[in-house]
Amino acid sequence: MITAQAFSTIEAIDRDAWNACFPEELEDWAYYRAVEQAGIDGFHWRYLALFEDDRLIAAVVAFTTAYSLDTTLQGTGKRLSQWLRSCWPGMFDIRLYALGSPVAEQCHVGTHPSLDPARLPSLFARLLQLAREDADQAGVGLLAVKDASHRNPQWLQACREAGLQSMPGLPGAELPIKFASVDAYLGTLGKSTRKDLRRTLRGSGPRIEWRRSVDDLLPTMMRLYEATLARSDLTFECLPAAYFRQVLEHLDERAACVLYWVDDELVAFNLVLLDEQRLVDKFFAHDLARTREHKLYMRSWLANVGYCIEHRIPIYACGQAGYASKLRLGCSFIGNTVFFRHRHPVLNHLLRLVKIFIRPDRTDPAMATAISEQQ
């Protein structure tokens, strides 16, 4: 017999049981516990679980928040929405219950590896039913799935069969590491990109330091992070200092902060998760003036590629932003789809119209290209 339960803390679920459903996942029980304990403002966490004879067989993270429908707009569309907000504050804001996490690049839905694959569609359907029931109890009308990966077609199909609308999500970027050296990697790129990167490498660069404890630097890091966030059109969550501290503490050797110094000044940092299979670039924050002077983004990119080559890590997972640069840098793209449905039929129909204008690929040609090239 299958029982379905929703919890407000991941500590209510056994760590080993959760991780068994998410084998080889860097964003595992410890990661979500760190996120939970960081206290990210405006988000409330939910953990949906299916049990069979007291054994956890399927699970997914979820959250509730006040969501801004214009979150994915950029450029002219973003400026228009900001003007409309000045006239009608809150016009784009709606309460949201979403499967997935604001601090993960895709909605990880996990199942126990011993399960017959033929059972997965019914289990996915049950998780979506549990999510709707949990949202109703919380009084939230809009149910969504944030970034369902195209690498899990059964999950995509379950979302469609549940009657959820869909639109393209932000694709994830990856660089498969098949190179014996950084120079060999550069040789795979276009002529102008290769020339720019080699010129960067010839110049004097910042000092690079890897750390797994940054408590003494958090005030400076947060100034860099907040300045970077203020420049971004795609802002969903604002991370507190506790997020960086908790992730580094709870993930031990599977998390690091890469620091970039010019003399004694910290000018950039890069939070990464890593194991033997992948290096995940979580956040890159920087001083914009110093970035232009020292080409910090490209320095960071080449440092991460070099680290993967040196440690024989086959995948560099590099996030959901900067698509124009990542196209030039040889990335491949993994598709994500956003699903949603409002329980009120009229509002659900209205969202069907709104999605025409808020699709992220409408305002970013590079993103549109990445979506067209996704795996």
Percent of the chain with pLDDT over 90: 71
Interacting residues of 283 by C-beta distance below 8 A, sequence separation 6+: 225, 239, 270, 271
Angstrom distances, CA of residue 267 to CA of 25, 257, 312, 321: 31, 13, 28, 20
Grade residue 367 by pLDDT with cuts at 50, 70 and 90: low
Please choose, from the candidates 250, 272, 246, the residue with its C-alpha nearest in 3D space to the C-alpha of residue 260: 272
Please indicate, yes or no, whether residues 102 and 251 belong to a single structural domain of this protein. Answer: no
Please indicate, yes or no, whether residues 196 and 256 belong to a single structural domain of this protein. Answer: yes
Range of the domain at 353: 2-171+335-372
Please indicate, yes or no, whether residues 130 and 242 belong to a single structural domain of this protein. Answer: no
Query: Judging by beta carbons within 10 Å of its beta carbon (0-12, 13-18, 19+), is residue 369 exposed, middle or buried?
Result: middle
Check if the beta carbon of residue 300 is closer than 8 Å to that of residue 284. yes
Please indicate, yes or no, whether residues 212 and 91 belong to a single structural domain of this protein. Answer: no
Please indicate, yes or no, whether residues 132 and 142 belong to a single structural domain of this protein. Answer: yes
Please indicate, yes or no, whether residues 185 and 106 belong to a single structural domain of this protein. Answer: no
Per-residue pLDDT at 320? 82
Interacting residues of 245 by C-beta distance below 8 A, sequence separation 6+: 38, 214, 215, 218
The count of C-alpha atoms lying within 13 angstroms of the C-alpha of 318, restricted to the half-sphere facing its C-beta, is 28
Please choose, from the candidates 312, 284, 183, 163, the residue with its C-alpha nearest in 3D space to the C-alpha of residue 224: 284
Per-residue pLDDT at 373? 59
Task: Look up the CATH number of the domain holding residue 79.
Answer: 3.40.630.30
Please indicate, yes or no, whether residues 160 and 200 belong to a single structural domain of this protein. Answer: no
pLDDT, tens digit, 9 for 90 and up, residues 177-187: 999 999 999 99
- Mean pLDDT lowest for which of 77-81, 138-142, 157-161? 77-81
Per-residue pLDDT at 69? 60
- Mean pLDDT lowest for which of 63-72, 95-104, 210-219, 303-312? 63-72
Please choose, from the candidates 364, 40, 65, the residue with its C-alpha nearest in 3D space to the C-alpha of residue 233: 364
Mean pLDDT of the chain: 89
Please indicate, yes or no, whether residues 43 and 20 belong to a single structural domain of this protein. Answer: yes
Mean of pLDDT values over 104-118: 94
Please indicate, yes or no, whether residues 155 and 179 belong to a single structural domain of this protein. Answer: no
- Going by the DSSP 8-state scheme, the letter that residue 351 receives in this structure is H
Mean of pLDDT values over 2-26: 97
Per-residue pLDDT at 83? 43
Per-residue pLDDT at 5? 98
Check if the beta carbon of residue 45 is closer than 8 Å to that of residue 63. yes
Concatenate the DSSP letters of all residues of 200-268 into one string: HHHS---EEEEES--GGGHHHHHHHHHHHHHT-S-------HHHHHHHHHHSGGGEEEEEEEETTEEEE
Joined tokens for residue 36:
């939970």
Please indicate, yes or no, whether residues 78 and 151 belong to a single structural domain of this protein. Answer: yes
pLDDT, tens digit, 9 for 90 and up, residues 283-299: 999 988 887 788 899 99
Please indicate, yes or no, whether residues 257 and 313 belong to a single structural domain of this protein. Answer: yes
Joined tokens for residue 132:
């709707």
